[in-house]
Structure 1
Amino acid sequence: MKRLVWLTSLLLTLAPPPAQAACPTGNPTTLSYIRRDNNRCEGLRDRRDASGSLSLVSFATSSLSNLSDPLTIRVAGSANPTLEVQEFSRNYRLDAVRMNPSGNGATFSLNPKILRNAGITTPNSLLAIAYVIRNASPIYYPTILGNASGTYTFVLFAPKPTAFRKIQIRRSGDSKTYLNQSLRQSREGEIPLQWNYSNAPAGDYELFVEDSQGSQRRFPFKHNRQWL
């Protein structure tokens, strides 16, 4: 009997976690977060989707000052990424997107109706993140809203006031630090970081952060100007 219990526990441990439930269907005239046009989940949720620990919630570039119609969303460097777009003040979320492989990545044309009806009129407030899971960890790829601007905007989300000793961008196999700054005053919520990538060679990079308590996080990402 004990052996049976042990075997059952082992199988439960090895089993993959249950898949995340798909978003519900509903009335497409509402702003609710539902499946739309059988190609995305989009709308306003009753809660904010943010991790309980420091997380990267946006890695994007855009030259748009206003929402275009349609809003072209492109992920550079991956033909099959997971894409998530959020706007925290309105609890807006776009995910489970059926993207189309195109050129050096994947694209999706979004009708901005839900965004506009929710009072979101500028892409500057959108948090866009795209990634591929490799070896159980995400590798991030740049998301382009409209057209690239020459600058990446990274947005960290800190669930509690946090100060940073180091905020760095490093390239694999390169001793050069492409961004090196600190944030001595504690910040909570969205923390935007700007990086001009115009002179950065193609390759594998990481956003490295160390907080005032010495805790470190690494967010690996891909960069290639030719993809943009």
Structure 2
Amino acid sequence: MKYKLLFASLLLCSLTNVSASACPTGDPKSIRYIRRNNNRCEGIIGINDNIPISATFQLISIATRNLNKWGETLTIQLPPVANSSNPEVKLRSIEQDYQLDKIDIPPNTSRFSFSTYVLKKAQIPVNRLRAIAWVNFEDLAHTYIPVKIGNPSHEYEFVFFTSNWTKINKFTILHDGKKEVYSHQRRNSQSPGEIIFKWEASNAPTGRYVLKIEAEVDRRGVVAPESIKQDIVFFHDQTWLNQ
């Protein structure tokens, strides 16, 4: 378990943590991280791959899903965001060291389908696949957009990864950075691993939102906990979520 957490922390350094050189071509029947169908990099990240050290506390997923099992293919969908850059998307399962990224999404589309061969071969649980996507939008260089993993639900799942014991002091969502629409506090410290929040957003108006999170992280060997404050901007499309 300690090894898994250590390797997971190495895996989570940044949203672009694996270099292009770490995505070679290879046998499509393997489950190693390789270029597949000339439209994505996908597979299990090897221990010898060049992966730098992680941040202590990081957002790894904003997604909506309603799946019970894998089919032959999986479709992910993104909300359309006018006047934005092409989206960057990353799917991963931390426990199994699985990652899918460098997706070639066709122009003027917001969906991407791929074979579930690796997901099933690597025994990735349906509810453990995480997804994160972002665009450059208006005056902000990094705006997150939720990802539909297969069928949607009416709620978003926000997943953070921490490599240490962590206490969440504040989790607040603001519409346009002003009106509070959701707030949650966890009084007890969370063990290393994933921390999940869910927000029922089907009645929330379309627009830009800001997630404010404050946490205290107890790092090993450090007397005082590390204080973390993050403002995470994301775009919500009410009609897209309810489709």
TM-score, normalisation: structure 2 = 0.78
Q: Give, in whole Å, the separation in 1 of the partners of 2:176 and 2:135.
A: 18
* 2:41 is the alignment partner of 1:45: no
Q: Summarize the alignment of residues 89-100 of structure 1 with structure 2, pairs less than 5 Å apart.
A: 89-100=95-106
Q: CA RMSD in A?
A: 2.2
d(CA) in 2 for partners of 1:45 and 1:74?
24
Q: Distance in 1 between matches of 2:165 and 2:94?
A: 17
Q: How far apart are 1:113 and its partner, in Å?
A: 0.6
Q: Which residue of 1 aligns with 2:209?
A: 205
Asked if structure 2 preserves the Cα contact closer than 8 Å seen for 1:40 and 1:96, the reply is yes
Could you tell me how far apart the structure 1 residues matched to 2:90 and 2:74 are? 15
Offset, 1:116? 0.3
CA distance in structure 2 between the partners assigned to 1:83 and 1:205 by the alignment: 19
Task: Return the structure number with greater strand share.
Answer: 1
CA distance in 1, matches of 2:141, 2:58: 13
Identify if the C-alpha distance between structure 1 residues 170 and 51 changes in structure 2 by more than 3 Å, giving closer, same or farther: farther
Q: Distance in 2 between matches of 1:184 and 1:77?
A: 37
- Residue aligning to 2:182: 179
Aligned length: 206
Q: Is the 8 A contact 1:62 1:147 kept in 2?
A: yes
User: Residue 100 of structure 1: CA displacement?
Assistant: 2.7
**Separation of aligned partners in 1, 2:239 and 2:28:** 38
- The equivalent of 2:26 in structure 1 is 26
State the AA in 1 paired with 2:163: P
Conserved? CA contact 2:177–2:210, under 8 Å: no
Alignment of structure 1 residues 135-214 onto 2, 5 Å: 137-172=141-176, 174-175=178-179, 177-187=180-190, 188-212=192-216, 214=227
Inter-CA distance 40–65: structure 2 relative to 1 (3 Å threshold): same
Q: Which structure's CA Rg is the greater one?
A: 1
Identity %: 35
Cα distance in 1 for partners of 2:159, 2:141 equals 19
Instruction: Please report how far the alpha carbon of residue 49 of structure 1 lies from its aligned counterpart in structure 2 after TM superposition.
Output: 8.3
1:161–1:133 CA distance, 2 compared to 1 (3 A): farther
Unaligned runs of 5+ in 1: 1-18
Partner of 2:237: 224
Q: Secondary structure at 2:104's aligned position in 1? A: coil
C-alpha contact (below 8 Å) 1:57/1:129 kept by paired residues: yes
In 2: Cα distance, 1:183 partner to 1:75 partner: 30
Q: Which amino acid aligns with 2:240?
A: W
Following superposition of structure 1 onto structure 2, how do residues 6-85 of structure 1 map, counting pairs within 5 Å? 20-22=19-21, 23-47=23-47, 51-78=54-81, 80-85=86-91
Which AA in structure 2 matches 1:146? G
